[in-house]
Structures are given as C-alpha cells and as structure tokens.
Amino acid sequence: MIQLVPHPRGVLLPVRAQPGARRNAIVGEHGGELKVAVSQPPEKGKANERIVDVLCDELSLRKSQLELIDGETSRSKKFLVTGVTIVGLRERLATNVGG
C-alpha cells in the first residue's frame, strides 16, 4: 500500500521514479511508494517534469497542486499534493493502481 502522509498543506505522496523507461505511466507500487515510469532521462530535471505530467494526467490533478519537496536527484521522491484529502487521493490511486 502506498504510504500517504498528512501534511499541513495537503498530502505527501511518495514516488519511486523509473527514468529512461519505454513509456510514461504509473506502473504500480514499490516499497510503499507510487512507481512512475517516464521516458525522459534523469538529467536537468527532465524526468521530474515528466513525472509531474504523468501524475497530473493519471490522477486528475493540476500542475499547481503538485510540488516536489524532497528527492530532486533521487529515485525516491516526495510530492506535496494540495487541494485533495488523503481519502480522495487514495481513491484516485485505487483507480490507477489498485490502492
């Protein structure tokens, strides 16, 4: 199960990045993190930008609702998601990853 954490401004969403993949998509769960595959290489923030795009598309979020707050150069990242509750985000995740 993806370990969502409450935050004063929203919900912290842990993400496991898979840069350099064949496709851009949410591909499942990995060690309590949402696994997101992106075709962009992990250089100059390109993969992070594509991860934001994938999260917005797959979870019906606006870019203004996502903020990368930890792990800019790591595969393990933490995004702050605003404007949604833990329950609401978990429902969106269940639609795309089964929880």
Could you state, in order of their start, the residue ranges of all structural domains in the chain?
Answer: 5-97
Average pLDDT (48-60) is: 97
CATH code of domain 5-97: 3.30.1200.10
pTM for the predicted model, two decimal places? 0.94
Q: What is the mean pLDDT of residues 58-71?
A: 97
pLDDT of residue 95: 87
Q: Reduced to 3 states, what is the DSSP secondary structure of residue 78?
A: strand
CB 6 within 8 A of CB 77: no
pLDDT at 98: 59
Structure tokens at 67: 């903020």
Question: Cα 53 to chain center, whole Å?
Answer: 9
Q: For residues 26-46, give the mean pLDDT.
A: 94
CA distances from 13 to 43, 44, 86, 88 (A): 22, 22, 9, 12
